[in-house]
Structure formats: C-alpha cells, structure tokens
Structure 1
Amino acid sequence: MSRPLFLQIVNEVEQHDPYFIQTTDVIGVLGLSSLQKIIVAYRILAYGTPTDSVDEYIRIRESTVIQSLRRFMKAVIAVFGDHYLRSPNNIDIVQLLQTGKQLGFLGMLGSIDCMY
C-alpha cells in the first residue's frame, strides 16, 4: 500500500471516530497515536497476527488491540462501505468481465475456487 493511500485512510478513520485521535491522560502522558492503533489493525488483518503477539511488537495491551481492530473495521465500513463494499453494478460487471477476458478467464465473474 502506498504511503499517501495509507495516510488518507488514517485521516478518514480519525475524522469518523475520535477514538483514534491521540490524547493525554490526567497526568499529561500521551496516549497511543492513531498510527499505532491503525497499524495494529492492519497487521492483524493482513498477516493474521494473533492479538497477543502484537503486544510484544508495538507495546499495546491485548484489550486495546482488540478494541482498535473492532473500531477500525467499523470505521472503514462506515466511511468506505458505500463505495468499495457494495455489490457491483452493470458498469462494474462489464469492466470485471473485460478484465477477466484479458487474463484468460472468459465469462467468469467470481472466485476461481468456485469453478466447476
């Protein structure tokens, strides 16, 4: 993923959910940054990393990791769901079929493991 795309996602998620904005506690100690919380979610989603191993890597408690992942997924669905997580329309289907044809998958619209 390119850095500008990642930072755009971070900004959109921060604007949607204030949980990801870095705050200070009552004695003035900075909390976790949005980057730390979002990177944890990415690692779990991309690599299937267990939540307890992320604690060793980024120094975040397991409960915070789980909460960050849940809130990140809810924010992504809320912010990007209407455009990227929707069913394909007719224009999308035509483009997908053309791409499949160019790659040698004639008339296929779906997963390779579902072919009979």
Structure 2
Amino acid sequence: MKRDLYCKIVQAVEEHDPWFQQRRNVAGELGLSFLQKVTTAFHMLAYNAPADSLDECLRLGESTIIESMRRFVRAVIEVFGDEYLRALNEEDIARLLAINERRGFPEMLGSIDCMHWRWKNYPTTWSGSLNDINVLHRSHLLDNLAAGEAPKVQYSINGHHYTMGYYLAYDIYLEWATFVKPIQSSVGKK
C-alpha cells in the first residue's frame, strides 16, 4: 500500500472515531497512539494474524487489538463505504473501459485473477488463505455475475455482438461469458 493511501485511511479513521485518538490515562501518562491501534488492524488484515500473536510485538493487550480491529473495520465502512464499497456506476464503468482500452484490452472491465503472475514477495503463509478466488467468493461481484447481471457494454468482435463487459480470469473460475480465460496451448499458427 502506498504511504499516502495509508495516511489517508489512518487520518479518516482517527477523525471518525475518537476511540483511536491518543489520550492521557488517570495517571496523566499518554496512552496508546492512534498509529498503534490502526497499524494493529492493518497487520491483522494484511497478514491474517490472530490477535494474540500481536500483543507482544505491538505492546497492546489482546482485547485492545480485537477492539481496534472491530472499530477500524466499522470506521472504514462508514467513511469509505458509499464511495468504494458499492456497485459500479456508469462513471466507474466508463473510467475502467478507458483505462483498459489504453492497456490494449478494449471493453474489459478488469482482471479477476492474477494467480498466474509471479509475485516475488508473496508470503508463503498466505497461500490458500485469502487468495483471489476466496476474496471473489466474498464479494458482491460474483453474486451479480451468477444472477446474469454485469455492466452493460456494447461491442463487436469478429462479427459477434456482445452486450456485457468481460473480466480476465484464470482456469479456476467458472465458465461464464463474462470471464475470458487465456489459451493454454495453441493448436495452430493463429
């Protein structure tokens, strides 16, 4: 995650929920900083770490870590939900189509799966936890596609007319018209 995005999220969460703000305790000593609390939540989300594994290295009690995570998730949903946790609108679709057109993928809405790309720093402990297919099963995108709902896009390829945008996907995904998969082995020169 880029530093400016991290700082934007941290600042928004701190402003939204006063619990994250650093305060003095009854003895007058400064308590936990908002960065400690927010970083704990980020760490749990990024590394799928249990709360009790973080208490010593972050110097927070397990109950504080759990409360940080609960409040962080709620704050992110309340602050950013209307903009980022919603279905695509016409403006979003137009922006995605323009970006992907410049990349050489006309009428593509996005790439669902990047599991076949090599990520040199991919932690081996993450394999099988929240990989792309598991994340996709938790998203509203798959529900909409299963119901036959996809953003409407009009285009033609080789004389065939299509009415829905497509997503690049890998072999493990279902055989749906909106998932375009790579050709594994060529049959001829084409």
Shorter-chain TM band: 0.7 to 0.9
Match for residue 88 of structure 1?
A: 88
For residue 54 of structure 2, give the secondary structure of its aligned residue in structure 1.
helix
Any stretches of 5+ residues in structure 2 without a counterpart?
109-164, 176-190
Residue 57 of structure 1 corresponds to which residue in structure 2?
57
- 2:6 is equivalent to residue 6 of structure 1: yes
1:114 aligns with 2:184: no
**Across the two proteins, how many residue pairs are aligned to each other?**
116
Contact 1:22-1:30 at 8 Å conserved across structures? yes
Q: C-alpha offsets along residues 73-106 of structure 1, whole Å, 9 cap, x if unaligned?
A: 0000111111111110123234445556647695
Partner of residue 68, structure 1: 68
Q: CA RMSD in A?
A: 2.3
Work out the percentage of aligned pairs sharing the same amino acid: 47
Structure 1: distance between partners of 2:51 and 2:4:
27
Q: Does 1:33 align with 2:91?
A: no
Task: Give the C-alpha shift of residue 2 in structure 1.
Answer: 2.2
User: Are the aligned partners of 1:97 and 1:109 in contact in 2 as well (CA < 8 Å)?
Assistant: no
Residues 1:80 and 1:110: Cα distance change in structure 2 (over 3 Å): farther
- Which amino acid counterpart does residue 81 of structure 2 have in structure 1? G
SS at match of 1:114: coil
What corresponds to 2:118 in structure 1?
none
For 2:13 and 2:50, the matched residues in 1 are separated by 23
Instruction: Select the structure with the greater relative contact order (CA < 8 A; seq sep ≥ 6).
Output: 1
Structure number with the higher strand fraction is 2
Letter in 1 for 2:88: P
What runs of 5+ residues in structure 1 fail to find an aligned partner? Answer: none
Given the two structures, how large is their TM-score scaled by the length of structure 2? 0.54
Cα distance 1:109–1:20, how it changes in 2: closer, same or farther (>3 A)? same
Contact 1:97 1:108 in 2 (8 A): no
TM-superposed deviation, 1:4: 2.3
Counterpart CA distance in 2 for 1:16 and 1:111 is 37
Greater C-alpha Rg: 2
Q: Give the whole-Å Cα distance in 1 for the aligned partners of 2:174 and 2:95.
A: 20
Decide which structure has greater helix share.
Answer: 1
Separation in 1, partners of 2:12, 2:83: 14
Partner in structure 1 of residue 17 of structure 2: 17
Distance in 2 of aligned mates of 1:47 and 1:56: 16
